[in-house]
Every structure is written in structure tokens, then in C-alpha cells.
């Protein structure tokens, strides 16, 4: 007897349909799985046999061969337990064959026959919709996540016995799971923190507003305790709210990576990822024998925060250069290549010296000049060129800490940021993949960032004195364009360029006092 059951698997952050073929023949009992299964798939033989028997069904004492097609792609994980078990029951005439034609099923089996949740449900549901398959059977804990995809009938299941009953006609008249997607999406957009919690640092808040408005990368330099981390954590609260399509795209990545919080069906807030400085380059950008998404992809549509930037390994920081320019990362292996989205705002923080107090007027720096130079040299020039704003974060003054005056809220700042983004959206309408000023290429800069005579002269004077690279020159023009958008100005005026130049602290010789 031969049965065919449809299932699904992920490849990168996308998914494909897997056909689980089960052949049952009269021979000595054996159970083999082919189709490039990994160890987790091979180990499912014991789980399936126990689950079938403990669910009250007969496990056929025959020779079983299960093929996972397409056979040229490696199959990983425990998500094939359910379709293989149903395939065996169908091949032994315990499940109705016609019921298997228009339904995809996925899930891990416990030994007692209950279903456990698996990763990557959302991309599989999207693929099911694309293939116009009508039904999707998933573990009950994955039901809400799968229901984010409309036009797919999602049926949450708790046990193997319930699945068999559904396929044998017990599910007639059963309605698919219905979830209020709009309410779930709207309710998940609230943030637990707010810029109103931050005392002082008005100039830094302004710089962060500019960064959020144009999608610019930013680095903050200041002594310990000046609030760099506190400010960074609140940047997502001033970014424009995610669209539903962005939320789906972000949730896909988190679902496949297995970092989607249990019980959550949708990532409705901008991601904020803050890896430790001991992270490897593969963990940051993605990798492995079978490539998986790294921190830069988990930060997609959100913020990647690198605290204590000089403490990261040099090779780890250098692999950021290509994703920062292109908005995605391609990982090549002998068995193929995978493309992962990585469109994020990079936010970095660092001390000005090893002890942290070189720029602090209230505390004495204990570092030698050569120590400071060595510390700063850990960050390469090409990486700094890809960071649009360099901001000094001074120590907070007592009068600011003791002030009872409530600071401006994230909602107030986000309103201005959203207006600036709307201007950019109108400007770039029709240009695929370009949504914010930070993404402009050279041709776009020449077209949209023209200066008048006074602005040209100001920028020429600044570049002559500072000695900026061509990339830094373009960065100033992009930031100037964003500042003009915040001011609702179609033209980039000299004051906009002047402010943009002030956001290049590491170019403006802030460490000129160092002498060897």
C-alpha cells in the first residue's frame, strides 16, 4: 500500500511543501526514512511507533519506507512526526486516503500521541496559501500564528487521535480557527518604555530623532552612566509603527529561528536586538552548515544595538559592512546559498577611552594617549564611514536628574518622524526598495540632495578642514536631506547642512588633544 501526505518545511526564511510518501509491504518489520533526513528526523521512528500505539491504533508489523520529497533538500527537525504517522495509518487503511489530498499537516509527536509546537509555522502557512491548498493542520499552540495568514483554513489539533478523527470525517462542519488579526496587530504595538523617562540629553534625543526619521545608522560616544543604553532601547518607540506586511516578514524570521515568544502570534513591535560583544561572526550575520538567520536578520525592520563597540572582535564588525550597504545578507555553502533580509538601523555605543572618562569634565581620565589610540583603532574607518551620525553623549547634569519637568514623549517624536517618512515615501514613490533617505544610492543623492550656493560653500569648507571621505560626504547630504524633511522643507538649507556636519563627531577631531 502507498499513501501520500502533504507537509511543509523551511529553507532559509521561506518554505516549501514536502510530500511524505509511505510504502507498506509484506516483509520483515523495518522502518526506514529516506529523502536526506537529519538525525532528528531519523529519531522520529521511535516517537511515531509509540505515539501510534498509545493513541489506540495498530502499528503495522511490516516493512515501512518513508520518502520525504523533494529528496535533494535536507530535512531537519521533528515537524515531520505527524505527517509520517498519518501516512503510516493511511497506508494501513486506518485513515481515509481522499481526505489527505487538500490538507497540509505538521507537528511533533509526544510518546502519548499529543502534539507539540514546532518552529517556522508562519512561512509554511504562507506557502500553503500560495499553493492554494485549503487546509492546514497544526499543533494547537501554533494555531494563532498560522491564522495570521488569511485565506488558509487553519485547524489546531492537540493529539494524533484528534487528527485521525478529523480526517475520517469527524471534522465535517468544523470551522477553521478565526482570530481577530487587526486587534492582535494593534494591541501588540505598545512599548513598555518611553523617551519621557530620559532626563536631559536633549541634543542626543534630537540626533536620535534624525536617525529614526531617515533610517540612519548612529554611534553614541560618552562616559559610563551617561544614558547611552537607555536611549538606544527607546529608539524603536519613535520609529513609525510597523505595517502588517512588515510584521509578517519579521515574524517569519523569528518563527524560523525559534525566538518567537511562546503564545505570541505576531511580532507587531519593531525588533530590538542587543547581542553580547563575545558574539561570533556567524551568530551575528547568520551561518552554520545549514545556514540560519543571525542577529542582523532578527533585527530586520528594527534596531540592532552594539554596546561597547570596540570590545567586539574585529572580524565580527567587518562582516557588517556588506549587509549595511545592501540591506540583506547572502550566505553561500557547498549545498547552496540562502538570502536573509537584514534591513535594520545600526545603533552603536562606546566609551571614548578604556576607562571611559576622556571626555568627561568632572572625572579624570587615567588612560595613556597610546591606550586611547589603540582603543579607537579597534573600529575600522570603512565601518565608521557607513555610520551616518556620530554623537557625543555627555554625562547627565544634576539639575536634569532632579528636574520634575516631564520630557517629550515618544509619541510626540514619533509623530514628527512619521511625517518625515511620509515625505520620503512620496519622494521615492516608484523606486523599488527605497523607503527612507538612508537607502539612497549615489544617483539618488545627486537628484534629491542638491544644495544652493551657501550650502555648497559650507560643505566645501567643512570637508577641506575635516578631510572627509567620499562616503562621509554622501552621508552628510543624506542626513541634511532628513533634517530638511523634519523641517518640512523641500530645499536643503545651509542650517540643515550645518547640523548634519555636527553629527560627525569622530571626523571633527574630538580626540585632537591626544598626543604621544
DSSP-H helix ranges across 258-356: 281-285, 295-298, 314-318, 321-326
DSSP-H helix ranges across 335-438: 369-376, 381-385, 398-402, 410-427
Does the pLDDT of residue 386 top 50, yes or no? yes
Same domain? For 395 and 298 the reply is yes
Per-residue pLDDT tens for 460-495? 888 887 777 667 788 899 999 999 999 999 999 999
Per the domain annotation, does 463 fall within a domain?
no
Q: Averaged over 16-33, what is the pLDDT?
A: 92
Per the domain annotation, does 380 fall within a domain?
yes
Range of the domain at 317: 195-428
More confident residue, 28 or 123: 123
pLDDT of residue 286: 87
Does the pLDDT of residue 101 top 60, yes or no? yes
Q: Averaged over 422-443, what is the pLDDT?
A: 89
CA-CA distance, 145 to 123, in Å (whole number)? 10
Q: Is residue 426 classed exposed, middle or buried when 0-12, 13-18 and 19+ CB atoms within 10 A define those classes?
A: exposed
Does the pLDDT of residue 316 top 90, yes or no? yes
Residue 497 backbone dihedrals phi, psi, to 5 degrees: -65, -40
Are 264 and 251 in contact, with CB atoms under 8 Å apart?
no
Per the domain annotation, does 472 fall within a domain?
no
Kindly state the percentage of the chain with pLDDT values over 90: 58
pLDDT of residue 459: 86
Q: Structure pTM?
A: 0.90
Per the domain annotation, does 258 fall within a domain?
yes
Per the domain annotation, does 332 fall within a domain?
yes
Per-residue pLDDT tens for 65-99? 999 999 888 888 899 999 999 999 999 999 988 88
Same domain? For 216 and 359 the reply is yes
Per the domain annotation, does 121 fall within a domain?
yes
Which distant-in-sequence residues (6+ apart) come within 8 Å of 457 by Cβ? none
Long-range pairs of 457-464 with CB within 8 A, sequence gap ≥ 24: 458/494, 458/497, 458/498, 458/501, 459/497, 459/501, 462/501
Mean pLDDT computed over every residue of the chain: 89
Same domain? For 165 and 201 the reply is no
Same domain? For 135 and 205 the reply is no
Whole-number Cα distances in Å, 414 to 131, 197, 240, 323: 39, 15, 6, 26
Same domain? For 155 and 205 the reply is no
Same domain? For 212 and 340 the reply is yes
CA-CA distance, 498 to 489, in Å (whole number)? 15
Same domain? For 285 and 146 the reply is no
Same domain? For 48 and 93 the reply is yes
Per-residue pLDDT tens for 198-213? 888 889 999 999 999 9
Element (H, E) at 333: strand 328-333
Domain boundary pick from 179, 213, 234: 179
Per-residue pLDDT tens for 345-385? 999 999 989 998 887 888 888 889 899 889 988 888 888 88
Does the pLDDT of residue 516 top 50, yes or no? no
Same domain? For 169 and 214 the reply is no
CA-CA distance, 224 to 363, in Å (whole number)? 11
C-alpha cell at 310: 570596540
Query: Measured at the alpha carbon of residue 440, what is the angle toward residues 435 and 444, in degrees to the nearest 5?
Result: 115
pLDDT of residue 514: 47
pLDDT of residue 207: 96
> Total structural domains in the chain?
2
Does the pLDDT of residue 128 top 90, yes or no? yes
Per-residue pLDDT tens for 387-420? 999 999 988 876 776 677 777 899 999 999 999 9
pLDDT of residue 486: 96
Domain boundary pick from 428, 458, 479: 428
Q: Averaged over 227-251, what is the pLDDT?
A: 93
Per the domain annotation, does 423 fall within a domain?
yes
Domain with 63 in it: what CATH number?
3.30.230.10
Domain with 264 in it: what CATH number?
3.40.50.300
Same domain? For 199 and 170 the reply is no
Same domain? For 411 and 284 the reply is yes
CA-CA distance, 389 to 407, in Å (whole number)? 23
Per the domain annotation, does 468 fall within a domain?
no
Domain boundary pick from 386, 408, 428: 428
pLDDT of residue 398: 62
Same domain? For 363 and 258 the reply is yes
- Note the residue count of the chain: 516
CA-CA distance, 372 to 394, in Å (whole number)? 18
Amino acid at each position: 500500500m502507498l499513501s501520500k501526505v502533504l507537509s511543509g518545511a523551511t529553507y532559509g526564511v521561506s518554505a516549501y511543501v514536502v510530500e511524505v510518501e509511505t510504502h507498506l509491504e509484506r516483509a520483515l518489520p523495518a522502518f526506514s526514512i529516506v529523502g536526506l533526513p537529519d538525525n532528528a528526523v531519523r529519531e522520529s521512528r521511535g516517537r511515531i511507533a509509540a505515539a501510534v500505539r498509545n493513541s489506540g491504533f495498530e502499528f503495522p508489523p511490516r516493512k515501512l519506507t518513508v520518502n520525504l520529497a523533494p529528496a535533494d533538500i535536507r530535512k531537519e527537525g521533528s515537524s515531520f512526526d505527524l505527517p509520517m504517522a498519518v501516512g503510516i495509518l493511511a497506508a494501513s487503511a486506518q485513515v481515509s486516503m481522499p481526505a489527505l489530498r487538500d490538507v497540509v499537516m505538521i507537528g511533533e509527536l509526544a510518546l502519548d500521541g499529543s502534539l507539540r509546537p514546532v518552529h517556522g509555522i508562519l512561512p509554511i502557512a504562507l506557502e500553503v496559501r500560495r499553493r492554494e491548498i485549503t487546509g492546514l493542520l497544526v499543533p494547537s499552540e501554533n494555531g494563532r500564528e498560522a491564522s495570521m495568514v488569511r485565506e488558509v483554513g487553519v485547524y489546531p489539533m492537540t493529539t494524533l487521535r484528534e487528527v485521525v478523527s478529523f480526517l475520517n470525517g469527524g471534522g465535517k462542519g468544523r470551522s477553521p480557527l478565526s482570530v481577530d488579526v487587526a486587534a492582535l496587530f494593534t494591541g501588540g504595538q505598545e512599548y513598555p518604555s518611553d523617551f519621557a523617562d530620559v532626563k536631559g540629553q536633549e541634543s542626543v534625543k534630537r540626533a536620535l530623532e534624525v536617525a529614526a526619521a531617515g533610517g540612519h545608522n548612529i554611534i553614541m560616544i560618552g562616559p559610563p552612566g551617561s544614558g547611552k543604553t537607555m536611549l538606544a532601547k527607546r529608539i524603536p518607540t519613535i520609529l513609525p509603527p510597523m505595517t502588517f506586511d512588515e510584521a509578517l516578514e519579521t515574524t517569519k524570521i523569528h518563527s524560523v529561528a525559534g525566538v518567537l515568544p511562546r503564545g505570541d502570534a505576531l511580532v507587531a513591535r519593531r525588533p530590538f536586538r542587543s547581542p553580547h560583544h563575545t558574539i561570533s561572526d556567524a551568530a551575528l550575520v547568520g551561518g552554520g552548515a545549514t545556514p540560519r538567520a543571525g542577529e542582523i536578520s532578527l533585527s530586520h525592520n528594527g534596531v540592532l544595538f552594539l554596546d561597547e563597540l570596540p570590545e567586539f572582535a574585529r572580524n565580527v564588525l567587518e562582516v557588517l559592512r556588506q549587509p549595511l550597504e545592501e540591506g540583506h545578507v547572502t550566505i553561500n555553502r557547498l549545498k547552496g546559498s540562502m538570502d536573509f533580509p537584514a534591513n535594520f538601523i545600526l545603533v552603536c555605543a562606546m566609551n571614548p577611552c578604556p576607562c571611559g572618562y576622556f571626555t568627561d569634565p568632572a572625572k579624570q581620565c587615567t588612560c595613556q594617549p597610546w591606550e586611547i589610540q589603540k582603543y579607537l583603532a579597534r573600529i575600522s574607518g570603512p565601518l565608521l564611514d557607513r555610520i551616518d551620525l556620530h554623537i557625543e553623549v555627555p554625562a547627565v547634569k544634576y539639575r536634569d536628574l532632579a528636574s520634575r519637568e516631564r520630557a517629550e514623549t515618544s509619541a510626540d517624536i514619533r509623530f514628527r518622524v512619521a511625517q518625515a517618512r511620509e515625505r520620503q515615501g512620496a519622494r521615492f514613490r516608484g523606486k523599488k526598495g527605497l523607503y527612507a533617505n538612508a537607502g539612497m544610492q549615489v544617483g539618488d543623492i545627486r537628484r534629491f540632495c542638491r544644495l544652493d550656493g551657501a550650502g555648497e560653500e559650507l560643505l566645501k569648507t567643512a570637508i577641506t578642514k575635516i578631510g572627509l571621505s567620499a562616503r562621509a560626504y554622501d552621508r552628510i547630504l543624506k542626513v541634511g536631506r532628513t533634517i530638511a524633511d523634519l523641517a518640512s522643507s523641500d530645499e536643503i538649507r545651509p542650517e540643515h547642512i550645518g547640523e548634519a556636519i555636527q553629527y560627525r563627531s569622530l571626523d571633527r577631531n574630538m580626540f585632537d588633544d591626544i598626543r604621544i
